[in-house]
Amino acid sequence: MERRPFGHAGRDAPVIGQGTWHIDGGGRRAAVQALRRGLDLGMTHVDTAEMYGDAEEIVGEAIDGRRDEVFLVSKVLPENASRRGTVLACERSLERLRTDRLDCYLLHWRGRYPLEDTFDAFERLRRDGKILSWGVSNFDVSDLDEASKAGGAGRIACNQVLYHLEERAIEHAVLPWCEAHEVAVVGYAPFGHGSFPGPDTPGGRLLRRIADAQGATPRQVALRFLVRRPPLFTIPKASRPAHAEENAGAGGLRLSHAEIASIDEAFPLGPPPRELPTL
């Protein structure tokens, strides 16, 4: 599993991690097994959020006894992101996750509280050792500019954003901004939240051809494409161990320039959107 520096967090993380939204779709037992299998195979970046129902508790069970292996990320909901609310939300997440610290804590999306208030709370949590770094999610370039003024240079570890083959809007401005400011870009919903290009579509056929040539699967090829630039990470969600195994297999894959160019052509970038797309 390839690892790389995670923005300003001062730590490495695997390029392929694990999402947990609706992780219990196949039952809690399978979810815990899937997460543990993912950890065994190096997908130690685990992404969760207070919003994801009982996902934090499931993650807590899955990482029990192996906390030090994990790069653990959770998120505060915008409606809780006041100075005091952020601290309390983090403490509740830590309890559900059965741990004393998060590796990174994110503002899930922008809400009504001033960024300064949320970031002050993040800094307080950092000083207290309850989080080791912090970042944002669903932030467009104008939000990132404001955030970097409010939080101070070099403070934002990552921006977690929607990114899959058929939704590449971040490549217009968000990805270049993050590259220039050494902010990790964590792409969420890499399989389009369950709408992966079908085998009978031109894009699906191309992925299959590249996969066959590489001894890989179309999903592994897609994941590898999504982490082809240095600040990129991806966090597919798998509720079943077999899916986790397949996803982890992308962590050692290498695509040629020609393969990357053909995927680029089959899933075109499209024009810049007026607003950053989100799920």
Ligand X SMILES: NC(=O)c1ccc[n+]([C@@H]2O[C@H](COP(=O)([O-])OP(=O)(O)OC[C@H]3O[C@@H](n4cnc5c(N)ncnc54)[C@H](OP(=O)(O)O)[C@@H]3O)[C@@H](O)[C@H]2O)c1
Query: Is the Cβ of residue 37 or residue 108 nearer to ligand X in the bound state?
Result: 108
Cβ of residue 41: shortest distance to ligand X, in angstroms? Answer: 12
Query: Is the Cβ of residue 89 or residue 238 nearer to ligand X in the bound state?
Result: 238
Query: Is the Cβ of residue 8 or residue 164 nearer to ligand X in the bound state?
Result: 164
Cβ of residue 19: shortest distance to ligand X, in angstroms? Answer: 2
Angle ∠(121,127,129) on CA atoms, nearest 5 = 105
170 to 17, 156, 176: CA distances (angstroms): 19, 17, 9
As to burial, measured by CB atoms within 10 angstroms (0-12 exposed, 13-18 middle, 19+ buried), residue 210 is buried
Amino acid at 273: P
Query: Is the Cβ of residue 177 or residue 188 nearer to ligand X in the bound state?
Result: 188
Residues 6+ apart with CB under 8 A from 153: none
Place of tokens 């994110």: 106
Cβ of residue 91: shortest distance to ligand X, in angstroms? Answer: 21
Cβ of residue 223: shortest distance to ligand X, in angstroms? Answer: 9
Residues forming contacts to ligand X in the complex (CB under 6 A) are 19-21, 25-26, 47, 108, 137-138, 160, 188-194, 219, 235-240, 243, 246-247, 279
Are 194 and 236 in contact by the 8 Å Cβ rule? The answer is no
DSSP character at residue 26: G
